[in-house]
Amino acid sequence: MSPLRWDVLLVGFVLALPVLALGLRGDFTAEEVTLRLPWCLAAGWAVVAMLRFATTPRTPARAAATRAHRDDVAHESATDDAESSAP
């Protein structure tokens, strides 16, 4: 994922607003603002990457494999319970 996508830049800009405001107010020097702005872009990239990962639906093949594995585990545990309860 490119760090120059529109959504990454937008989130980075939103995260940079407090830094820019502190620079305009005089709490940060121009050098401090310049040093912190790339971190805002990096944080924006991390936020967008995490959201994209969390909202991407699972692929059908992987979902089917997971469901088959879960069914196999359930079947094995049911078989083990039946064998252990037999006299």
Return the pLDDT at 35. 92
Same structural domain, 33 and 69: no
Same structural domain, 32 and 72: no
Domain count of the fold of the chain: 2
Residue 66 belongs to what domain range?
A: 59-87
**CA distances from residue 70 to 57, 66, 75 in whole angstroms, order as listed:** 19, 6, 9
Same structural domain, 38 and 9: yes
pLDDT per position as a tens digit, 36-52: 988 888 998 899 888 88
Same structural domain, 47 and 67: no
Same structural domain, 48 and 65: no
Same structural domain, 16 and 43: yes
Same structural domain, 4 and 27: yes
Q: Specify the pTM.
A: 0.59
What letter would DSSP give residue 5?
Answer: S
Return the pLDDT at 17. 92
